[in-house]
Structure 1
């Protein structure tokens, strides 16, 4: 509930790594996000610090990322931010920032893309259940005041 949702715009730094597991498909890649600012003294845009995020995609998003994302492409990624710290070699502490992606898309401010909807697999056919009989049954006897008419008996052909 108290998750940190971020939206970052950057460039793909590594090719996506796609894996199939028992939990479903997953893909990961690194995204480089560089801050840009206007340098008033030089009157030019200047690159600031670059942050690198490991973007994780799961299920159908992972399949689509593996098929569409390439190194150098500008992307917009939205998802849950997770910062991890770990100790390496017993002395060096490292921090890494991961994004569990909810959505990934190309940045159309910097290029064009041709969207193609993925085909959904047909659901497995289940055994057909008979339709319930919702009709009201006819009364057994004739209505009040009506004379019952008997249907003629069918002729027997021998």
Structure 2
């Protein structure tokens, strides 16, 4: 069964980054997702069941995850959900896996700074592109202060 899914949760393990012999970058980690709801009868928030996902990112997304994600980060993951059966001497079960198409920090819990990455010459890895500093006459407010000036998204 393959289906698209979007999940919010916490990076539960240190992201593991590998590059295969063919040069394919892969970053993987476990994601803990727990729903919370308000219980009106008890007048408090209660936690639901925790769902666990194995998340895998490939190619450029894997490289960016390696540089951006840490255990404990709250993130949003969108991708293809797959279920895999497993068996061992101690028993068996089902593992929910997400092949990620997009991953980002969950801004409901904090702030994040974005750095655009351009592809560099073959084999040299990603090259971060620093944000241009606003000039006083440009009227751009990129400080994150929430000023009233308009942002020019063409830059």
TM-score when normalising by structure 1: 0.73
> Which of the pair is proportionally richer in strand?
2
Structure 1, unaligned runs of 5 or more = 124-158
Q: Which runs of 4+ in 1 moved over 4 A?
A: none
Q: Which residue of the partner structure matches residue 119 of structure 1?
A: 118
- Once the 2 structures are TM-superposed, how far is the Cα of residue 94 of structure 1 from its aligned partner? 1.3
Residue by residue, what CA displacement relative to the aligned partner does 1:18-70 show, whole Å, maximum 9, x if unpaired?
A: 00001510010011000111112211111110011010000000000011101
Give the match for residue 48 of structure 1.
Answer: 48
Number of equivalences = 121
User: Mapping of 1:125-140 within 5 angstroms?
Assistant: none
Q: Aligned-residue CA RMSD in angstroms?
A: 1.5
- The residue correspondences of 1:1-158 to structure 2 (distance < 5 A) are 3-21=2-20, 22=22, 24-89=24-89, 92-122=91-121
Deviations, residues 67-111 of structure 1 (Å, cap 9, x unaligned): 11011111000000011111111x612111000000000011110
Larger radius of gyration: 1
In structure 2, the gaps of 5 or more residues are 123-155
C-alpha distance in structure 2 between counterparts of 1:100 and 1:16, whole Å: 14
Kindly state the Cα deviation for residue 119 of structure 1 after the two structures are TM-superposed: 2.1
Q: TM-score, normalised by structure 2?
A: 0.74
